Amino acid sequence: MTEPAGTGILFLCVANSSRSQMAEGFARERAPEGVEIYSAGSAPTAVNPLAVQVMRELGIDLSAHRSKAIAEIPADRIGTVVTLCAEEVCPVFPGEVKRLHWPMPDPAAAEGSDEERADAFRAVREMIRRQVTILMRYEA
């Protein structure tokens, strides 16, 4: 059975490698029944291994995720678009949708030791977790 059009939530950033992937992971875990969850990027690359690592710490498995282009997303199924970029130019999703912007630093830009970089991912992960939790309260 097909869900009604326009109930999906799309998380967007540029590379679809870290922030939008973590948001998708949290949202899939928390979304009410019937709400489809997607993520994409305007210049998709690959899912960042540190995003996979820090989400695994919370029991959320991103290992099967892949970076996707916006064109791969079924536009007619999207009702809400959340952009997560801060320093870079955010991708644009066409159409009549509810738009939210959560400016999050790109943890992939973090420098330092492996642990310092992982800590940057954990900090952004926690910001995303809080925002997704609030969003899902409104989607329920």
Residues 121/113, Cβ–Cβ less than 8 Å: no
Q: pTM above the 0.85 mark?
A: yes
Handedness of CA 61, 68, 10, 134 (dihedral sign): positive
Q: What is the pLDDT confidence band of residue 89, given thresholds at 50, 70 and 90?
A: confident
Query: Which residue of the set 9, 81, 85, 135 is catalytic?
Result: 85
- What pLDDT, in 10s, does the model give residues 111-124? 999 999 999 999 99
Which is the catalytic residue, given 9, 10, 13, 54?
13
90 part of the active site: yes
Q: For position 13, which CATH number holds?
A: 3.40.50.2300
3 in any annotated domain: no
What is the full DSSP assignment across 58-98?
A: TT---TT----BGGGS-GGGEEEEEE--SSSPPP---SS-E
Range of the domain at 135: 8-139
Is 13 a catalytic site residue? yes
Q: Say how many domains are in the chain.
A: 1
- Predicted confidence (pLDDT) per residue in 27-74, tens digit: 999 999 999 999 999 999 999 999 999 999 999 999 999 999 999 999
Q: Does residue 18 carry a catalytic annotation?
A: no
How many angstroms separate the CA atoms of 67 and 9, rounded? 16
